[in-house]
Amino acid sequence: MDAQLLADELAEQVVTTARTATGDSLRSVTYFTRSDFEQLYLREDLQRDADLDTFVGHEWRGFRDTRNAYRESELGEYRFTVRAFENGYLLRVTGDRAGVLITTDGLQVQSYEEIADAIEKMLGEDPTRE
């Protein structure tokens, strides 16, 4: 996690989009690629002790496995994942080269879809992609 992965403007856009859609429910925002990650936001009441290296690696593999498993599904193309945990929720939006993990307190499912739509668009427009 040595170099900045996203331009400041795009990083700010991602965080602002997540913050606008979730309000005080936003816990964290992490941008990641196949080889690196950058935590863009962490709510001040949370500790910076999460093992993001392992977490991001698992989510990248999970994206590939999920996308491949459902490639021919009648449900259509895979778009995003929402995971429920005891203390919050995780939204994973991933493209072929990069993704964003957003953790929140509880939200309506429609809110996750709106955030995913906006993040997918930003990832598609990111000129710094690997």
Q: Which residues touch 89 (CB under 8 Å, ≥6 apart)?
A: 82, 83, 103, 104, 105, 106, 107, 112
Query: 55 φ, ψ to 5°?
Result: -60, -50
Instruction: Tell me the per-residue pLDDT of 79-121, one tens digit each, with 9 for 90 and over.
Output: 898 988 898 999 999 887 889 999 999 877 788 888 899 888 8
Q: How many structural domains comprise the chain?
A: 1
Range of the domain at 12: 8-125
Q: What's the angle, vertex CA 91, arms to CA 87 and CA 96, rounded to 5? A: 145
Per-residue tokens: 21? 């859609």
Per-residue tokens: 30? 């992490």
| Radius of gyration of the chain, Cα coordinates, nearest whole angstrom | 14
The pTM for the full model equals 0.84
The CATH number assigned to the domain holding 120 equals 3.30.450.30
Instruction: Tell me the per-residue pLDDT of 41-51, one tens digit each, with 9 for 90 and over.
Output: 999 988 877 77
Residue 27: per-residue pLDDT: 94
Residue 2 included in any domain: no
